Amino acid sequence: QVQLVESGGGSVQAGGSLRLSCAISERIADSWFTGWFRQAPGKEREGVASINSNYGSTFYADSVKGRFAVSQDNAKNTVYLQMNSLNLEDTAMYYCAARPSGPMIWESPLQASLYTYWGQGTQVTVSS
């Protein structure tokens, strides 16, 4: 059973930075996607960023472009989300998810319903 474990969440003041980590217990497939999602209370789950394991292709939601960066260390089966210039709207539970690569995920890399494996989440709270 594939397991994903997020870490690195916490409380930070607006304008600050955090780096989230997602440790994946095993290789998902020859090629896979890892995505970061977030969900604030009363809101739908939102795709934030994703990365393809083989090509390193990255995808971002408009709301985080230029502030967040997703990266990976395949030797460690770990994906990171560097979050800079955090604002109050970034407060949410952050989840990482993964799935094997394929045509559908290349078309919609930030669509939560396409992902198979999910972590338990890590809370990020931004205060003024």
pLDDT of 36-57, one tens digit each? 999 999 999 999 999 999 999 9
> Where residue 62 falls among pLDDT bands split at 50, 70, 90?
very high
Q: From edge to edge, which strands make up the β-sheet containing 68-73?
A: 4-7, 18-24, 78-83, 68-73
Strands 122-127 and 10-13: parallel
Say how far apart CA 61 and CA 100 lie, in whole Å: 21
Q: What is the pLDDT of residue 90?
A: 98
The span from the first CA to the last CA of the chain, in angstroms, equals: 40
Q: What is the pLDDT of residue 19?
A: 98
Q: What is the pLDDT of residue 82?
A: 98
Q: What is the pLDDT of residue 4?
A: 98
64 CB-near residues (< 8 Å, 6+ apart): 48, 49, 83, 90
Query: What stretches of the chain adopt beta strand conformation (E)?
Result: 4-7, 10-13, 18-24, 32-39, 46-52, 58-60, 68-73, 78-83, 92-100, 117-118, 122-127
Q: How many residues does the chain have?
A: 128
What average pLDDT does this structure show over 57-63? Answer: 98
Q: Are 14 and 125 in contact (CB under 8 A)?
A: no
* Mean pLDDT of the residues in the chain: 97
Q: Are 112 and 37 in contact (CB under 8 A)?
A: yes
